[in-house]
Amino acid sequence: MTCRAWTPPSRGDIRPQADKLSHRKLTPRRRVKLAATDGVECNSYSGRAMRPEWLKPSDAYGWGAIARNVLPLFLLFCVAPLLAQRHAFAPWLLAPAIGLFLYRITVVMHDCTHHTLFESRKLNRTMGLLLGAISGVDFNSFRQRHWQHHESYGRTGDPQGFQYLSLKGMSRGELRWHFVKPLLGLNLRDVLAESIVAPGNIARTFRNGELAMVVLVQFSILALVTQAANYPVLAVLPALSGATFGLFFSQLRGIAEHAVVGENEAYVVRSHVPSTLDRIFLYDVNFNYHAEHHAHPQIPSCHLPSFHRAAGLPETRGSMFDTLRALYDKSIPSHV
């Protein structure tokens, strides 16, 4: 099987105004690329009629995704001051888990940007704003930058390009540094524009009244994690965890989805086989079906597995961690 560059959907198919996209009008021979972990591309398309049930979000699915990520996060916030009673260092051991759940919340929030997590558009926006306030991400900026990613992935101008565009030709030492640097907070500058503390976002949320919810949510988190200011130093624990471990997990997923592994790959968007380890550390809401999502962003994630099977697309091979391992194996040894 030979590799061929995938032609991404036209700008008219996926754009920031896609909130208004009709769920009844779909291009019939939409091509989907599924790149396996060895870099081989499988091009296919579905010319079959889109089933109406594939376009209907599930509220139960949406609430379940929120509950399994928000509740453990707030439990960790409550546990942190209890650990501080034992030892001053103990709460900081929670940073990887807190960062992980802050990241996972942004994955769930992603579906709100497409109005596909819940049936109600208003509920999608409201919960998107709330999840953003919890994770420290401005929902409106996140949505805008995400649609830019849909339009420009694999090319200069992709807001997520800092995660994967520069990897080709890296030595293994350089690749290891690229993997590790988010843990030092060095990716923060690339995402600061979509933070709730970015000056432009503060000004906009103040004008439209959304700032009050952000402040209320953040003060609630601070009250929990510091036990009503009994442990004030823990106030920085959520932000520090998200800016390091949260961005670390986010970058790993971005690399697995879009990094070039094969010599002739271009504009890569890659799906992966379901994996328990991936599901814990790298994705939720069926994000492993990423090629299908890019080709049909109007399909709620709850239906992506059914769409993948019914459309007769090639079976995905390998997990996200398999792709990361393949990328490392194909990198240039540091001593060369």
Q: What is the pLDDT of residues 23-32, one digit of tens each?
A: 333 333 333 3
- Residue 40 pLDDT > 80: no
Q: Retrieve residue 333's tokens.
A: 């040894």
Closest to 35 measured CA to CA, from 309, 327, 275, 303 = 327
Read off the pLDDT band of 334 (50, 70, 90).
Answer: low
- Roughly what angle, to the nearest 10 degrees, separates helices 139-152 and 199-208? 120
Tell me what the pLDDT averaged over the chain comes to. Answer: 86
pLDDT (tens digit, 9 = 90+) per residue, 202-249? Answer: 999 999 999 999 999 999 999 999 999 999 999 999 999 999 999 999
Average pLDDT over residues 105-121: 98
Q: Retrieve residue 170's tokens.
A: 């890296």
Q: Do residues 317 and 155 touch, judged by C-beta distance below 8 A?
A: no
What are the residues facing 42 on neighbouring strands? 34
Helix, coil or strand: residue 155: coil
- HEC string for 38-75: CCCEEEEEECCCCCHHHHCCCHHHHHHHHHHHHHHHHH
The pLDDT of residue 11 is 34
The pLDDT of residue 15 is 34
Helix, coil or strand: residue 170: coil
Cα–Cα distance measured from residue 77 to residue 217, given in angstroms and rounded to the nearest whole number: 13
- Residue 47 pLDDT > 90: no
Average pLDDT over residues 298-306: 96
Close Cβ partners of 94 (under 8 Å, ≥ 6 residues apart):
76, 79, 80, 83, 237, 241
pLDDT (tens digit, 9 = 90+) per residue, 123-169? Answer: 999 999 999 999 999 999 999 999 999 999 989 899 999 999 999 88
pTM above 0.95, yes or no: no
